[in-house]
Amino acid sequence: MTKTIPVSVGIDLGGTSTRVGVFNPQLEMLRSESMHTQVSAGPDAAVKLMARTIDSLLIGAEGVRYEAVGIGIGSPGPINLRDGILGKLPNLPGWDGFPLRDRLEEATHLPVHLESDANAAAIAEWKLGAARDLGVDSIGMLTLGTGVGSGFILSGKVWHGIVGMGGELGHAVIKPGGWLCGCGSQGCLETYTSAQGLVRLAREVAESDEGTSELRNALVAPDHTTPQKIGLLAGDGEPAARRVFDGFGEKLGIGLANLISTLDLPLIVVGGGVASAWPFFADAMFGAIRDNSLVYRLAMPRQVATFEQDRTFVCPAALGSSAGLIGAALLPFMNEAGADVPAVHMA
């Protein structure tokens, strides 16, 4: 006899790879597939490939039939979430203006819930990750990766901003006149606290009086493994690498201080690949938060009562690189269960 299981399909669309996963209502991943995102083949080809992959993943197991309730997809931003249309995406050149939501619905005949990848990660950390047992209905999440993404849950709803961009804390300026950012502004948080920012900070230290041959060696022919190399050095206690993370933590702390001052949020989760270096930058980060935020200094004593200690309201992410995929998979279940994360919450 065949048993039917309701499942949700999550998709994490990235500039390099795309992950598709099938999840049960307990958000356990039943099956998944990862594929190269063929950006130059264009979005229509990508949607076709997604649809085929979903079809194959939805073939049930022995005695089990999967019944998909819907698809959740997290995409790099900016997105016009109201209309389900992609914006001008640095990592998906040529895809701007593509009506991703509608095309994926047409290709799969399933309801599609589109979110920015940063918001999807925030939802996952809120419901199943770092915020899971804290009972908060508002969190901010920063994803420190190639860039710096941000997602907000405010009063139990994903914050989408005017047309779904939902804010880009990575492009808040923490040092007017500072490093030039790819966005055209100067001194954006992202220029210091992304993977690339870390490498740039490392180069600055390497070329200074505090530079060491170890750090300089790690920066010869820098590639995507360079941040890990700097992290390994810091883990060994190498002083120049520790200095790099001090500077990184200080810049991150200023950005977080301003977020706390602006919104007085109960919890901020820091995720993304670079966040794995948390032990190396946390002290400098908390120091800078305290130094730069009156609201943090005032709120600290009261938060003791809510959470574990006076500082844990800024904490590392719990779900690692799967947060975006899990968050995407959550969307169909949440919308089905009572729309506690409806599509758009603003004018």
Interacting residues with a second copy (CB under 8 A): 78, 87-88, 135-138, 150, 152, 154-155, 157, 159-163, 165-169, 171-176, 181, 183-186, 188, 254, 257-259, 261-266, 291-295, 297-299, 302-303, 306, 345-347
161 C-beta neighbours (distance < 10 Å), count: 15
C-beta of 32 vs 261, nearer to a second copy: 261
C-beta of 55 vs 83, nearer to a second copy: 83
Q: How far apart are CA 186 and CA 173, in angstroms?
A: 7
C-beta of 219 vs 263, nearer to a second copy: 263
Q: What is the DSSP string of 96-153?
A: TT--HHHHHHHHHSS-EEEEEHHHHHHHHHHHTSTTTTT--S-EEEEEESSSEEEEEE
C-beta of 144 vs 215, nearer to a second copy: 144
**Sign of torsion over alpha carbons 98, 104, 105, 106:** positive
CB of 175 to a second copy, least distance (A): 6
CB of 197 to a second copy, least distance (A): 16
C-beta of 174 vs 199, nearer to a second copy: 174
65 C-beta neighbours (distance < 10 Å), count: 13
C-beta of 64 vs 298, nearer to a second copy: 298
CB of 185 to a second copy, least distance (A): 5
CB of 315 to a second copy, least distance (A): 15
CB of 123 to a second copy, least distance (A): 16
**Sign of torsion over alpha carbons 315, 319, 321, 323:** negative
Burial of residue 186, with CB atoms counted within 10 A of its CB: 0-12 exposed, 13-18 middle, 19 or more buried: middle
160: left (phi over 0), alpha (psi -120 to 50) or beta: alpha
C-beta of 69 vs 163, nearer to a second copy: 163
C-beta of 174 vs 275, nearer to a second copy: 174
Query: Reduced to 3 states, what is the DSSP secondary structure of residue 210?
Result: coil
Residue (of 136, 193, 151, 183) closest to 328 by Cα position? 151
CB-based contact 202:219 (threshold 8 Å): yes
Q: How far apart are CA 222 and CA 279, in angstroms?
A: 23
Sheet with 314-316: list strands edge to edge: 157-158, 148-154, 139-144, 268-271, 314-316
CB of 227 to a second copy, least distance (A): 23
What separation in angstroms does the CA of 7 have from each of 22, 47, 223, 312? 6, 20, 38, 34
CB of 191 to a second copy, least distance (A): 12
| CA 149 to chain centroid | 6
Query: Reduced to 3 states, what is the DSSP secondary structure of residue 172?
Result: coil
CB-based contact 169:181 (threshold 8 Å): no
C-beta of 24 vs 306, nearer to a second copy: 306
CB of 90 to a second copy, least distance (A): 11
